[in-house]
């Protein structure tokens, strides 16, 4: 929330009530009197950079950024909006568009990194992209998606990998593709102060086993997903992603748990929705059947690049306004 702008309705208003930047300014001072705001007093060690509008991790949390608590409290109120983001520019635009949560998805494997699946994505890939997204987004909650085999093998290694996302990459939370193997781990991470978003239904890191087919389509599978949702809520997950499951199953899971559900291909009755940003913008060569395309960026990018190429080839670019001349250099040769 920038100083001078009214609080947006919904998720941010919760945090803004605690510490209203309209009164205390983006730097944590009362813009009229120069008094320190409450968050500034509480976080006296938060270093401000004089000519940088951005705060360190403590400052970010203090000025009314979306918090895990805000997301938790949104269950049953205004729908939560989540998009993936993998770079600072996209994160900044999503933030301007008012998106609540940015997921640094391992779908970056398919979108930005050019792999066929998410399986080759590494902890370093996600950490580097998460840091970029956190630098780009002032307000949205930033969630790092833990890649294949980065959690669930050894507990200590899982904790270290998740911890890196908060310590090094400025993530606010991690998301784990969940199952029986993540119940205890979720509890341990939450105990340690690492907020966990669980992910049930289609978990693409298991694509060698499941493909990309709909999940939870039989009564047994439905019961299993409902049971895992409850177990992850009990373990302390602040939110559940439900992917590619029947809408009536997602509706019942949403009723059964008190934490918010965020659906992707899970119907309208979740507490929020998430899509891969490339699918929304029209950048993906192909998208899942549950995605909706809201833009045509691939075509726009191709058009802009072709126009540039044509102007370079024809000599129309660069024009006079893109060049400069130093008269004293005229007779060098």
Ligand X SMILES: CC(C)C(=O)C(=O)O
Ligand Y SMILES: Nc1nc(=O)c2c([nH]1)NC[C@@H]1CN(c3ccc(C(=O)N[C@@H](CCC(=O)O)C(=O)O)cc3)CN21
220 is in an annotated binding site: no
Using alpha carbons only, how large is the chain's radius of gyration in Å?
A: 23
Name which of 145 and 271 has its Cβ closer to ligand X.
145
Name which of 81 and 178 has its Cβ closer to Mg ion.
178
Name which of 84 and 261 has its Cβ closer to ligand X.
84
Report yes or no: 210 and 231 within 8 Å, Cβ to Cβ: no
Which residues lie below 8 Å from residue 73, measured CB to CB, with a gap of 6+? 14
Q: Active-site residue 310, yes or no?
A: no
Q: Is 118 left (phi over 0), alpha (psi -120 to 50) or beta?
A: alpha
Q: Is the dihedral of CA 298, 303, 304, 310 positive or negative?
A: positive
- Residues between 100 and 119 that touch Mg ion (CB under 5 A): 105-106
Name which of 27 and 232 has its Cβ closer to Mg ion.
232
Name which of 67 and 273 has its Cβ closer to ligand X.
273
Among 204, 216, 263, 272, binds ligand Y (CB under 6 A): 204
Binding positions for ligand X, rule: CB under 6 A: 84, 103, 105-107, 145, 241, 243, 264, 274, 276
String of contacts with Mg ion for each residue 133-152, x by CB under 5 A: ------------x-------
| Shortest spacing between CB 118 and ligand X, in angstroms | 6
Among 57, 93, 288, 298, binds ligand Y (CB under 6 A): 288
String of contacts with ligand Y for each residue 136-175, x by CB under 6 A: ----------------------------------------
Determine the Cα–Cα distance for residues 91 and 134; give it in Å rounded to an integer.
8
106 is in an annotated binding site: yes
| Shortest spacing between CB 255 and ligand Y, in angstroms | 25
Name which of 190 and 207 has its Cβ closer to ligand X.
207
| Shortest spacing between CB 174 and Mg ion, in angstroms | 11
Which residue out of 168, 187, 243, 320 is catalytically annotated? 243
Applying CB under 6 A, does 111 fall inside the site for ligand Y? yes
Q: Which does 139 bind (CB under 5 to 8 A by kind): ligand Y, ligand X, Mg ion, none?
A: none
145 is in an annotated binding site: yes
Report yes or no: 136 and 89 within 8 Å, Cβ to Cβ: yes
107 is in an annotated binding site: yes
> Which of these ranges, 52-60, 68-76, 138-146, 207-215, lies near ligand Y under the rule CB under 6 A?
207-215
Report yes or no: 276 and 107 within 8 Å, Cβ to Cβ: yes
Residues at the site binding ligand Y, with contacts judged by CB under 6 A: 107, 110-111, 118, 204, 211-214, 244, 276, 278-279, 284, 287-289, 291
Which residues are documented as binding site for Mg(2+)?
106, 145, 177
* Interacting residues toward Mg ion by CB under 5 A: 105-106, 145
Active site (catalytic) residues: 243
């Amino acid at each position: 929330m920038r100083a001078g702008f009214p609080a947006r309705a919904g998720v941010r208003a919760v945090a803004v009530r605690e510490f209203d930047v309209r009164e205390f300014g983006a730097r944590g001072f009362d813009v009229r009197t120069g008094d320190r705001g409450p968050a500034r007093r509480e976080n006296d060690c938060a270093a401000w950079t004089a000519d940088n509008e951005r705060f360190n991790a403590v400052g970010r949390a203090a000025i009314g950024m979306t918090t895990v608590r805000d997301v938790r409290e949104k269950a049953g109120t205004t729908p939560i909006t989540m998009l993936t983001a993998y770079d600072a520019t996209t994160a900044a635009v999503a933030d301007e568009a008012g998106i609540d949560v940015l997921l640094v998805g391992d779908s970056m494997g398919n979108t930005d990194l050019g792999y066929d699946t998410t399986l080759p994505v590494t902890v370093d890939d996600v950490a580097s992209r998460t840091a970029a997204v956190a630098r780009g987004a002032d307000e949205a909650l930033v969630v790092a998606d833990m890649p294949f085999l980065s959690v669930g093998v050894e507990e200590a290694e899982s904790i270290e990998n998740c911890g890196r996302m908060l310590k090094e990459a400025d993530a606010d939370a991690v998301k784990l593709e969940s199952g029986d193997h993540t119940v205890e781990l979720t509890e341990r991470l939450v105990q340690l102060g690492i907020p966990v978003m669980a992910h049930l239904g289609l978990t693409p890191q298991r694509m060698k086993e499941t493909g990309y087919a709909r999940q939870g389509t039989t009564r047994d599978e439905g019961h299993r997903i409902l049971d895992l949702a409850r177990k992850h809520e009990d373990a302390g997950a602040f939110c559940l992603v439900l992917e590619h499951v029947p809408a009536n199953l997602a509706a019942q899971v949403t009723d059964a748990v008190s934490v918010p559900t965020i659906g992707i291909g899970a119907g309208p009755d979740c507490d929020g929705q998430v899509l891969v940003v490339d699918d929304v913008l029209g950048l993906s060569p192909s998208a899942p059947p549950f995605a909706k395309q809201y833009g045509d960026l691939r075509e726009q990018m191709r058009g802009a690049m072709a126009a540039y190429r044509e102007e370079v080839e024809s000599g129309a670019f660069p024009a006079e306004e893109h060049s400069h001349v130093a008269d004293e250099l005229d007779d060098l040769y």
